[in-house]
Amino acid sequence: MQTEEDDEPEILCPCMKCVNRFWFPREEVFNHLIANRFNKRYKVWNFHGEGFTIGSSSRGDGHQYDNQNTLDDMDEMINDIFRDVIGGLSSEAEEHRKGPDESAKKFYKLLEDAREQLYLGCKDFSVLSYTLQLYLLKCLNGWSNSSFDGLMKLQGAAFPFAKLPTSFHHAKKNGEEPLT
């Protein structure tokens, strides 16, 4: 026999211990937050009200994910990251003759990856958006580096035509290098 409590919808618990990996009723999440504290690194509320663009799929629990704007948003995110870098370049003619500096090269590489299809005909993912979403899944789900490498090896064998990262190091380099 189901009780009223059994019908209560569950949400992901953002406490330091669960880190959005486990589903519980709201009251239990509240107790977790009191006991284990809130994860301070949880800045974007992907699982608690804000949109999450990881692909056009349904998880079967009523949550819909839509990636319609993922590729459109990628240029905007890259421009946000590099706004000060590109905007702060000196206007002296001599510096312009030298060509783009390292930060500008990283910026243009990111733009290229953001516009490049993951594979021929792919409209849902760019090389960059797919790499960043894989990296996000690794972080949110606590995957080890070796488990991520195993997944990349399997995906590379299954989809040799796709421009996938070959390892965690490759994905991290592509996703974080521009920020340093």
Q: Do 15 and 76 share a domain, yes or no?
A: no
Q: pTM above the 0.85 mark?
A: no
Q: What is the pLDDT of residue 124?
A: 87
Q: Do 75 and 21 share a domain, yes or no?
A: no
Q: Which residues share a beta bridge with 126? A: 117
Q: Do 77 and 29 share a domain, yes or no?
A: no
Domain that holds residue 18: 9-50
Q: Is residue 159 part of a domain?
A: yes
- The helix (run of H) or strand (run of E) holding residue 31 is helix 26-36
CB atoms under 10 Å from CB of 86, counted, come to 15
Q: Is residue 143 part of a domain?
A: yes
Q: Is residue 61 part of a domain?
A: no
- The C-alpha atoms of residue 125 and residue 67 are separated, in whole angstroms, by 8
- The C-alpha atoms of residue 7 and residue 17 are separated, in whole angstroms, by 25
The tokens for 147 are 């488990």
Evaluate whether 65 touches 52 at the Cβ level (below 8 Å): yes
Q: Is residue 40 part of a domain?
A: yes
Q: Do 17 and 99 share a domain, yes or no?
A: no
Q: Which of 134, 127, 120 is nearest to 54 (CA)?
A: 134
Q: Do 25 and 85 share a domain, yes or no?
A: no
Q: What is the pLDDT of residue 74?
A: 64
- Give 117-143 pLDDT, tens digit per residue: 888 998 888 888 888 888 888 888 888
Q: Is residue 60 part of a domain?
A: no
The yes-or-no verdict on residue 51 having pLDDT over 80 is no
Evaluate whether 118 touches 125 at the Cβ level (below 8 Å): yes
- Give 62-85 pLDDT, tens digit per residue: 444 444 455 556 666 666 665 555
- The C-alpha atoms of residue 25 and residue 61 are separated, in whole angstroms, by 14
DSSP code at position 154:
H
Q: Do 123 and 160 share a domain, yes or no?
A: yes
Strands 10-12, 23-25: pairing is antiparallel
- The C-alpha atoms of residue 150 and residue 156 are separated, in whole angstroms, by 10
With 0-12 / 13-18 / 19 or more C-beta atoms within 10 angstroms meaning exposed / middle / buried, residue 119 is middle
Q: Is residue 17 part of a domain?
A: yes
Q: Which of 10, 12, 21 is nearest to 139 (CA)?
A: 21
Q: Which residues share a beta bridge with 115? A: none
Q: Do 161 and 78 share a domain, yes or no?
A: yes
Q: Is residue 3 part of a domain?
A: no
Q: Do 46 and 77 share a domain, yes or no?
A: no
Higher-pLDDT residue of 80 and 27 is: 27
Q: What is the pLDDT of residue 154?
A: 92
* Total tally of structural domains belonging to the chain: 2
Q: Is residue 147 part of a domain?
A: yes
Higher-pLDDT residue of 83 and 155 is: 155
